[in-house]
Structure 1
């Protein structure tokens, strides 16, 4: 009975109906207390996404009657970041892409400040939190930190920073701890986060959802309800046919390679969208499954999984992908599907089978660990259950799953979904636009 009820409860929990009910209650409470539309903003000096977000907040406040409660953070929650160095490297590449997309400032090389220097500068940001002008002051400091190099950078920073503060950074340690504790208490772990009315919005990547919410409340101050921060997907698969692969082109076209996990809901979205991308530009798509983190004896804290479920729901709704009736495939559900992947590939139906499995567990509440559930997933992908069922006893898939993981690490990537196209390597379904850019450039060069 629990297997029948739980997916429906999750579907209710992630429904737009319940989301709208929560929003109405939040707004009613705000009005009753005569409170302003306040957005809590968590910023980290050495975070590329924080730097970009800070650059657009002034314009955002001109469009909507919101005030900002700035909270500076610095220390990463270790259990949330399994590969912090790779995360930072990827964030820098993402930052460069987003800066170009939105015409924002961004360096060609990461800042070289030491950990102690970064902590000193963070103390200055903390000091500014409790006085007017944080946004302007912080932006000036972020600019100097990210754009300057060498002695020139230090000279600029020395003019901005009060040495009485920077040389006594330890005096701000409790203030910093309070901000980081509040971030965790409110239910998150990333910086460049905006928290408004009980919901989270991650930097420029998710600012469109806050725009939409404020537009629905008729709060736009310039009479325009246009969404600005949707450029990463606005023109997805929108290039004209003459940019696609041509028989007159020369050379072998690159394949999109995706590292994928059945237990990752972002992987589910990425698979659906990557298939659309591959079909549109007529390029191959190769999916390489890996074991989920928990099955590799890693940890996924509840705070992280809770935010991911809510975030995937709104992303899925945006792209018209069904999501919400969830039957967690952890353990046998994953293993049984992986055991049949080679069989599906041998029939030319590997991608269809993986999408059938992902859609089943993430949107239909189908139990992939049961024979009846797995049979349904197999047969609707066009495969023969009588041929597939005996293959469930073969665990040779564990060799290629671990080899795929080693290959993922060899690409200087760490999580799923990750995608590679030629020299373009990205983490997350958010950056399929970078893969699309790589395809367009590649195909244009091959047809010249």
Structure 2
């Protein structure tokens, strides 16, 4: 009974209808309290996404009648960041890419600052929160910090504040507690009307929401922050296999988890990318974090599901009727992956499984559900079923994980294209498939001119 009810309940919880109902209620409460359209913005000085977001907020406020409630944070929630150093490195690479896309300022090297210096500068930001002009002051401080302008920092910062940064510790704790209480963990976040928007990566969703409310000042209904996917698979360049041979064409490698909804989007979009440019696609599954005895707090999983829903809607991918495959569902599908590969149907099988558990409410833990997923991928259930007892897949799943770490990546989905010596690109998250596409275009462009 539970197995049949939960997918329907998930479908309702993730429905556009319920989301729009929540939005109408949020707007009704705002009007009843006679409040302006206020966006709470959580910024962290040493966060690349916060720096980029800060640069576009003034322009955003010119387009929409919104005000900002700025909240400075600093300390990461440890249970939300399994590999903070790798996260920071990846965020810097993301920042450089996004800065190029949107013509924003960004350094060639990460800023260097001691913990005490960061605390002192954070205290100055906290002080400005309670004064007019935070946006302008903060942007000048962020610029000086990220561009290594020590002299400018000394002119910007009040020594009465920086020398007594401990006096702002409770203020900082209050901001960080509010971020957690409101249901998030990242910085560079905007919170409006009960929904979260992560920096430039998700600003288009806020644009669309405000446009639907009729708030855009020029009534153009334009969306500016969609460049990372606007022209996805827009070029016609293809691999010249007749010249180079199929084996010499670089493959897109996806490190993937069946329980990751972002991996579901990544697989479908990755297949689209590979098909468009006629390059190979290789999927390397790993065990989900929980099955590797790691923590995934409820706050994190709740935000991820809501975010995947709107991303799936953006790409025209069905999502929301969920049958969580954690445990047996994952294990049974992984046990059959080698069989599917031996029949040349590995990708089709994984896609069938992912669509089943994330969009159709099919239980991969049941024989009837798994049989459906197997047979529609073109495989024989009678041949597949005996293989469910073979757990040799656990060896390659852990090998894939070690290989992922070897690329200085830590989570799924992650993509690797090319080699270190030839147009290498390594990215975390389906958001950065545009960087993989750039690497493919560069690679194939070189091949066609050789």
Correspondences of 1:224-373 after superposition (within 5 Å): 224-239=220-235, 241=236, 243-247=237-241, 249-250=243-244, 252-373=248-369
Residues 347-389 of structure 1, C-alpha deviations (whole Å, 9 max, x = no match): 0000000010011000111110111000000000000000000
Offset of residue 246 of structure 1: 2.1
The answer for the alignment partner of 1:425 in structure 2 is 426
Offset of residue 248 of structure 1: 5.5
Q: Is 1:378 matched with 2:374?
A: yes
The answer for the alignment partner of 1:434 in structure 2 is 435
Offset of residue 224 of structure 1: 1.6
Aligned residues: 442
Whole-Å separation in 1 of the counterparts to 2:73 and 2:98: 22
Offset of residue 253 of structure 1: 1.4
The answer for the alignment partner of 1:144 in structure 2 is 144
The answer for the alignment partner of 1:412 in structure 2 is 408
The answer for the alignment partner of 1:447 in structure 2 is 448
Whole-Å separation in 2 of the counterparts to 1:116 and 1:3: 52
Kept in 1, the 8 Å contact 2:253–2:282? The answer is yes
Shift of the 69–249 alpha-carbon distance from structure 1 to 2, 3 Å rule, reads farther
Q: Is 1:67 matched with 2:67?
A: yes
Kept in 2, the 8 Å contact 1:101–1:231? The answer is yes
SS in 1 for 2:190: strand
TM-score by length of 1: 0.98
The answer for the alignment partner of 1:124 in structure 2 is 124
SS in 2 for 1:131: coil
| Consecutive unaligned residues in structure 1, runs of 5 or more | none
Correspondences of 1:166-245 after superposition (within 5 Å): 166-239=162-235, 241=236, 243-245=237-239
SS in 1 for 2:250: coil
Whole-Å separation in 1 of the counterparts to 2:187 and 2:387: 45
| Consecutive unaligned residues in structure 2, runs of 5 or more | 419-423
TM-score by length of 2: 0.97
Whole-Å separation in 2 of the counterparts to 1:236 and 1:115: 40
Whole-Å separation in 2 of the counterparts to 1:171 and 1:42: 20
Whole-Å separation in 2 of the counterparts to 1:314 and 1:218: 20
SS in 1 for 2:131: coil
Kept in 1, the 8 Å contact 2:274–2:281? The answer is yes
Offset of residue 250 of structure 1: 3.7
Kept in 2, the 8 Å contact 1:250–1:447? The answer is no
Whole-Å separation in 2 of the counterparts to 1:197 and 1:221: 19
Whole-Å separation in 2 of the counterparts to 1:321 and 1:314: 10
Whole-Å separation in 2 of the counterparts to 1:95 and 1:132: 28
Offset of residue 318 of structure 1: 0.6
Kept in 1, the 8 Å contact 2:23–2:193? The answer is yes
Whole-Å separation in 1 of the counterparts to 2:387 and 2:284: 19
Kept in 2, the 8 Å contact 1:248–1:447? The answer is no
SS in 1 for 2:288: coil
Offset of residue 114 of structure 1: 1.1
